[in-house]
Structure 1
Amino acid sequence: MFDYDRRAHLKQVHEARKAKTIQRVDESIRRLLKAKEGINFNSVAVDAGVSKATLYNNPELRVRIESLRQQQAQMPSPKQIKQEMDENNKDAIIASLKRKMKKLEEENNKLREQLKFSYAEVYQKI
């Protein structure tokens, strides 16, 4: 007669389902990284089609998501990078304008001196 072990079969089904879930989560994380989207439990759960509890309860997945989330938190966002670039540009523009203003003031003073001498020459001719 056929000897069927129900426990072994359920264990095998459970392991297969677990492996498939881990594979889906891995693919989801790769997609999110490629799309440069935020990695957190909510985004991975929605993208992979699994519950957040599954992610929290699996130690491997939990550590991976937490480390990726931490890495992304340390990196500046595109908005922060743009703001820093604007700040740097603003500082460079201000410095350039100050140099230009100083140069024009010096030129203006030289022209005033030349004008004084020209007025003196005209006055002497009269």
Structure 2
Amino acid sequence: MGKMDRREQLRQLHEARKATTNHKVDEAIKRLLKARMSINFNSVSSESGVSKATLYNNAEIRERIDTLRQQQAQVPTPKQLKREMDENNKDAVIASLKRRIKKLEDENKQLREQLKVAYADVYKKI
């Protein structure tokens, strides 16, 4: 029988596990990005099945998750976009209502003037 190099076997096993972990994390991040979900250690851990400790201890993965998390923090979320749209929409509605009030006030003023003239005509006939 040939002599088995235990160190070499352990190194190969470690490399295989590392490659599997990296592949799982890459796939999980792709799925999270595609679903437009937030990227953080909890979400990547639960999506990939890799422990959070492994994510924190692996420098490459940790840096990637931190970078993606910071990029997502700069991009407004759908809730923030909706809130901003509501604010803009609210401003447009307020401006529209102010124009309508002004128009109705002018119309009311004209009708009062017409009513004064009509009262004057009735008073002259009496």
Amino acid paired to 1:70: Q
Counterparts of 1:46 and 1:101, CA distance in 2: 55
CA distance in structure 2 between the partners assigned to 1:7 and 1:18 by the alignment: 16
Q: Distance in 1 between matches of 2:55 and 2:13?
A: 19
Q: Percent identity over the alignment? A: 69
Structure 1-normalised TM-score? 0.91
The match for 1:33 is 33
Tell me the residue number matched to 1:81. Answer: 81
Distance in 1, Cα, partners of 2:47 & 2:98: 53
SS at match of 1:88: helix
- Provide structure 2 residue ranges, at least 5 long, that are not aligned to the other structure: none
RMSD: 1.4
Gaps of 5+ in 1: none
In the alignment, structure 1 residue 97 sits paired with structure 2 residue 88: no
In 2, Cα distance between the equivalents of 1:39 and 1:15? 26
Secondary structure of 2:28's aligned partner: helix
Aligned to 1:46: 46
TM-score (norm 2): 0.91
Structure 2: distance between partners of 1:90 and 1:73: 26
Q: Which contiguous aligned blocks of 4+ residues in structure 1 show a shift greater than 6 angstroms?
A: none
Aligned partner of 1:68 in structure 2 is 68
**Residue by residue, what CA displacement relative to the aligned partner does 1:9-64 show, whole Å, maximum 9, x if unpaired?**
21111111101110000001111111111111111112111111211121111111
**Quick one: distance in 2 between partners of 1:107 and 1:37?**
53
Tell me the distance in 1 between the aligned counterparts of 2:106 and 2:16: 81
C-alpha deviation, 1:122, in angstroms: 2.2
